[in-house]
């Protein structure tokens, strides 16, 4: 694997984790949203990753030997959670149903914070891998001096 492949793999991980962190942030920001444009409470979202073969440009693919072990990550879908909302008795709330219950999103703050920490650590690992690749490239250039 060459330096540019390592950078491509790490950068795909950075992009995927950035989207994951944005999705988690949206979940946390909407933890008390009882009414959305679609109707009903906000629904938790979750990002789905998939490992796909590292595709370069078309010319490189045709002229180089296939390396089936090199993969990169890609976000393939953002799933909407279909769990039932949490019903809280608040008869004075503007979105209360006739029985006085309000539907709140089924979002667990601790779970979201744990996911955020995990995404942050994964992002940091990809940054470290990119830095290591860059350092190796710089040392390889110094060999010729």
**DSSP H helices in the chain:** 3-29, 58-63, 109-143
- Rounded Cα distance between 72 and 116, Å, is 21
Span 67-96, average pLDDT: 87
- Rounded Cα distance between 58 and 33, Å, is 46
Q: Give the residue, 108 or 143, on which the prediction is more confident.
A: 108
Per-residue pLDDT of 105-121, as tens digits, reads 999 999 999 999 999 99
**Confidence (pLDDT) at 58:** 58
Contact between 52 and 76 (Cβ < 8 Å): no
Burial 114-125 (b: 16+ CB within 10 A, else e): ebbeebeebbee
**Confidence (pLDDT) at 67:** 58
From 17, 79, 69, select the one nearest 48 (Cα to Cα).
79
**Confidence (pLDDT) at 32:** 93
Contact between 48 and 79 (Cβ < 8 Å): yes
Q: At 87, give phi and psi (nearest 5°).
A: -95, 125
Checking if the pLDDT of 61 tops 60, the result is no
């Amino acid at each position: 694997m060459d330096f540019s492949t390592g950078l491509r793999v790490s950068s795909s991980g950075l992009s995927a984790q950035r989207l994951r962190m944005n999705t988690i942030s949206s979940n946390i920001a909407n933890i008390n949203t009882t009414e959305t444009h679609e109707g009903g409470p906000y629904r938790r979202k979750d990002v789905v990753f998939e490992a796909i073969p590292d595709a370069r440009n078309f010319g490189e693919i045709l002229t180089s030997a296939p390396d089936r072990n090199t993969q990169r990550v890609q976000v393939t879908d953002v799933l909407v959670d279909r769990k039932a909302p949490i019903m809280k008795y608040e008869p004075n709330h503007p979105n209360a149903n006739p029985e006085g219950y309000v539907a709140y999103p089924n979002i667990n703050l601790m779970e979201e914070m744990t996911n955020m920490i995990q995404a942050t650590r994964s992002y940091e690992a990809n940054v470290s891998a990119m830095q290591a690749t860059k350092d190796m490239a710089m040392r390889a250039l110094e060999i010729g001096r």
